[in-house]
Structure 1
Amino acid sequence: MGSGKTTIGKIIAKELKCSFLDLDEVLENELGTSIPEVFKTKGEVFFRKKEHQFLNEIVSKDASFILSTGGGTPCYSGNMDTMLKEADAVVYLKVAIAGLVQRLMPEKEHRPLIKNIANEDLPEFIGKHLFERNNYYLKADHIVNCDNKEPQRIAEEIIALLG
């Protein structure tokens, strides 16, 4: 969350002249409502089931595209194994806790997982989530350090990795 997946994914897709998909946008379009509303009315378990379903539908397509997932996607329902098996490459955009706090603070209200976290508790919350998710993230084919880098530079690094 907050690492720049959507921004960087769009840049890469444009550079490689392929389509870009954001799994969260697919979910919102298919469910006809926003992700915060899904969390509020149906809960996280429902959301994760739908996320898994749509991820599998997307990656089974025989097409060239860049896919941005939610930060929790790799951690549930064997999703990371599915992505590693089906995708040409899985990239983890690694950002330090301080950088994530700085990026997420202005948009807390639009992020269901952190909306109700006190500002002073946000660094600990993010650190805990990164610790819990680290084993999944570290399975990625490529890990790109994104601290203090502009999105265009990160995109160029990833394109070079993809060869």
Structure 2
Amino acid sequence: MAEHHFHLTAQWKGGLFGEGQISVGNLVSTVSVPPEMNGPGIGTNPDEMLVGAAATCYLITLAAVLENRGIIPVDITLESEGVVTVEGNKPCFDKIIHRPAIVLENDATEEQLHTVAVLAERAEKACMISKAIHGNVKVTVEANVMVKV
């Protein structure tokens, strides 16, 4: 069994509404509480990073799932949205919605379009980050599969 380790270093100054720095792999960023939660909104924040982790994992998994079926799209774009609710002082990361737009060659059949839509759903279930947050954060896919114009 292979085991991979990923290391992050962090530094923080101030209280809740201070700011920090993180470094992990090729990512170096300032971090703070987001403005939506009355923070300074400097750099990124854990909410954006969770959406980013889920989105990039899903995108890579989607490309792999399609390739495993012999399908190489012309293009895949992705918009992902994270939804956080706050009751009283308690924020809860409720859900992530992935909205991939998958473009196939203009000779793709209706059956191929349907297959790709099904595979877009399957990719979410195969994604390592989706598996890690399963049971805590709902992840859904709203795929738009189309042919190149």
Give the alignment's TM-score, normalised by structure 1. Answer: 0.26
Q: Which one has a larger percent strand, Structure 1 or Structure 2?
A: 2
Report which structure shows greater RCO (CA 8 Å, sep ≥6). Answer: 1
Give the alignment's TM-score, normalised by structure 2. Answer: 0.28
